[in-house]
Amino acid sequence: MTTDTAPTTTAKPVLQASGVVMRFGGLTAVNNVDLTVGEGEIVGLIGPNGAGKTTFFNCLTGLYVPTEGTVTYKGTVLPPKPHLVTQAGIARTFQNIRLFANMTVLENVLVGRHTRTNEGLFSAILRGPGYKRAEAESREKAMELLEFCGLANKAQHLARNLPYGEQRKLEIARALASEPGVLLLDEPTAGMNPQETRAAEELVFAIRDKGIAILVIEHDMKFIFNLCDRTAVLVQGQKIVEGDKETVQNDERVITAYLGAPLEGAAEGTSTTAGTEDDQ
């Protein structure tokens, strides 16, 4: 491990992974990875197919219990259960869209709010004043989020009827409904056209401006380098380099990992992707 893999942020840590290892039998999918996302930061995570990016995300969000290492959120070690991780303040989207297809857009966002509502089962069954007040507040907040994500006019549409780019936006709106301090995006622009990708960029900046730190996995290098304050590169489970756009683009090991072309394309400002052939 070389010294340039050390965290370079001076921002106050929000999410911190230390020495995270994830083994599946004899395969080490994530190998001793340290990564910090600080307040107000957008951090990128890139790497060729099978590098361990999604597995690392799963370790950060309690879907997997890391074989070794710790993950802390604002200084507290996270419990290895997804709903408790969400409750703590970490939200995520998935590489493969996971919406409730037969529910409306608004209902999907309301589902995302359940970790932030105090009304229990009996309150819901009895539908007393407390429940009605909480429900009205939730709907109002959900509508604000749909407005923020540009989906307010689709609130009553079924999720399955949205175009692909809007489904991805809805996933983000639902993740934001849990009022996170950090948002993890797993390939948010996969399948988007260039116009949708640019709109997604604007949305990510706007989320950061709300005070939510962001960690994003993407194969679209232009998207990553336009957005991110720092980018970490995983290759075969190991973080080989972490730094700003220039540091990453000029690192020989990164160029070798990608066989050169994609990163050079990004440096020239053309939209390019790397290693997407067997995604999803």
Ligand X SMILES: Nc1ncnc2c1ncn2[C@@H]1O[C@H](COP(=O)(O)OP(=O)(O)OP(=O)(O)O)[C@@H](O)[C@H]1O
**Is residue 273 a contact point for ligand X (CB under 6 A)?**
no
DSSP track, 60-79? HTTSS--SEEEEEETTEEPP
Work out the angle between the directed axes of helices 129-148 and 164-176 (0-180°, nearest 10): 130
In the complex, least distance from residue 155 CB atom to ligand X, rounded to whole angstroms: 32
47 binds ligand X (CB under 6 A): yes
What span, in angstroms and rounded, lies between the C-alpha atoms of 203 and 216? 13
Examine residue 65 and tell whether it contacts ligand X (CB under 6 A): no
Query: Distance (Å, rounded) from C-alpha 48 to C-alpha 234?
Result: 8
Residues 259, 263, 268, 269, Cα dihedral to 10°: 140
The answer to the question of residue 53 lying near ligand X (CB under 6 A) is yes
Contact pattern for ligand X over residues 92 through 121, marking x by CB under 6 A: ---x--------------------------
Nearer residue to ligand X within complex by CB, 27 or 101: 27
Instruction: Pick the binder of ligand X from 52, 89, 112, 188 (CB under 6 A).
Output: 52
Q: Which stretch binds ligand X (CB under 6 A): 52-60, 129-137, 155-163, 175-183?
A: 52-60
Q: Give all strands (DSSP E) within 98-237, no chain letters.
A: 182-186, 213-217, 230-235
Angle at 114 between CA 122 and CA 167, to 5 degrees: 140
Kindly state the number of chain residues that form the binding site for ligand X, as judged by CB under 6 A: 13
Instruction: Round to whole Å and give the CA distance between 13 and 71.
Output: 12
The residue within the footprint of ligand X, chosen from 15, 20, 29, 224 (CB under 6 A), is 29
Nearer to ligand X, 56 or 112 (CB): 56
Residues that bind ligand X (CB under 6 A): 24, 27, 29, 47, 49-55, 95, 279
